[in-house]
Amino acid sequence: MILIDGKKEAANLREELRKEVSSLKTKYNKVPGLTVILIGDLTPSQIYVRNKEKSAKEVGLKSEVIKYPDSVEEITILKKIYELNKDDTVSGILVQLPLPKHINKKKVIEAIIPEKDVDGFHPMNVGNLSSGYKSSVPCTPLGCYLLIKKVEPNLSGKKAVVIGRSNLNGKPMTQLLLKENCTVTITHSKTKDLKGECLKGDIVVAAVGIPELVRGDWIKKDSIVIDVGINKTEKGIVGDVAFDEVSKIAKAITPVPGGVGPMTIACLLKNTIECFKRLQS
């Protein structure tokens, strides 16, 4: 069984990106810049943004966090985004979710120009991804995709089952696997026989948010299992996959923590660099 080491893969990716930033600096005499807007004082968002900032600096990106109180007006955020859209030193803009209730998420996402949308949430990027064109891809599914490709470079003809249909994870994951010529089944809370569907998968990606939903007898022998879930339980953080059971059957599996999570931030840095390169050309 291959234990897919997301920490190691993320460190390798950051090292590649560090070298790329250094050569971009030589070529353009400037470095890619990532600006994160953080609203309110939710602890998980604060920790996540702090980690993003630290990783961005490690690879040599220009990194900035703009903080607002929970009570900030929507118009203030929109005006800041319009300003950042025009700022040449900013290659990527990210507004940390979730937002306070009085701020319209759709308006905020659509205010960021697609060229600087490092989260890949803008409808233009979503459309480009589903049309098979170049686009920013949401960081978590991009990280999952890179991990799968490390285990199995040729995915053509493989049967992939994605559990969860969120815009953040399930849908973009499906598009990435389709692009690799997988036969993809997307499943969700209304799927009739989830176990039966999972049993058909050479690749199973679980992005649900239910602790240890996917059991050992749901998984075909020699499949690749990617666990996106992060669930707080009495026994600590667990994924959507019952690791002890599934790791006895699968060919390869990501642990939680230490699997998909570390790749998410590394992919945000990758997306920032990609935006920078697109903006230069």
CA–CA distances in Å: residue 15 to residues 8, 21, 49, 167, 178: 11, 10, 20, 29, 29
3-state DSSP percent of the chain in helix, strand and coil, to 5 = 45, 15, 35
User: Whose Cβ is closer to ligand NAD: residue 114's or residue 239's?
Assistant: 239
**Opening angle at CA 48, ends 47 and 51, nearest 5:** 85
Measured from the CB atom, is 27 or 188 closer to ligand NAD?
Answer: 188
Active site residue 79: no
In contact, 110 and 217? CB cutoff 8 Å: no
Q: Which of 62, 117, 119, 220 is catalytic?
A: 119
CB of 183 to ligand NAD, least distance (A): 19
Three-class secondary structure of residue 216 per DSSP? helix
- The DSSP symbol for 117 reads B
Whether 175 sits among the annotated catalytic residues: the reply is no
Q: In the bound complex, what is the minimum distance in angstroms from residue 66's beta carbon to ligand NAD? A: 22
Beta carbon of residue 194, minimum distance to ligand NAD (angstroms, whole number): 5
Question: Would you say 163 or 252 has its CB closer to ligand NAD?
Answer: 163
Give alpha helix (H) positions in 87-160. 105-111, 123-131, 139-151
Catalytic residue (one of 80, 96, 227, 270):
96
3-state secondary structure of 202: coil
Sheet holding 159-163, edge to edge: 2-3, 252-253, 224-227, 203-206, 159-163, 183-187
Number of other residues whose CB lies within 10 A of the CB of residue 104:
14
Residue with smaller CB distance to ligand NAD, 175 or 264: 264
DSSP code per residue over 46-95: HHHHHHHHHHHHHTT-EEEEEEE-TT--HHHHHHHHHHHHH-TT--EEEE
Least Cα distance to 276 among 142, 128, 151, 89 occurs for 89
As measured in angstroms, the least distance from the Cβ of 25 to ligand NAD is: 28
Q: Which amino acid would we find at residue 125?
A: N
Closer to ligand NAD by Cβ: residue 54 or 79: 54
Question: Is 227 assigned a catalytic role?
Answer: no
Comparing CB distances to ligand NAD, the nearer of 119 and 180 is 119
Please report, as ranges, the residues that interact with ligand NAD according to CB under 6 A.
140, 163-166, 168-170, 187-189, 191, 194, 207-210, 228-231, 260-261, 264
Cα–Cα dist 184/92, whole Å: 31
Active site residues: 52, 96, 119
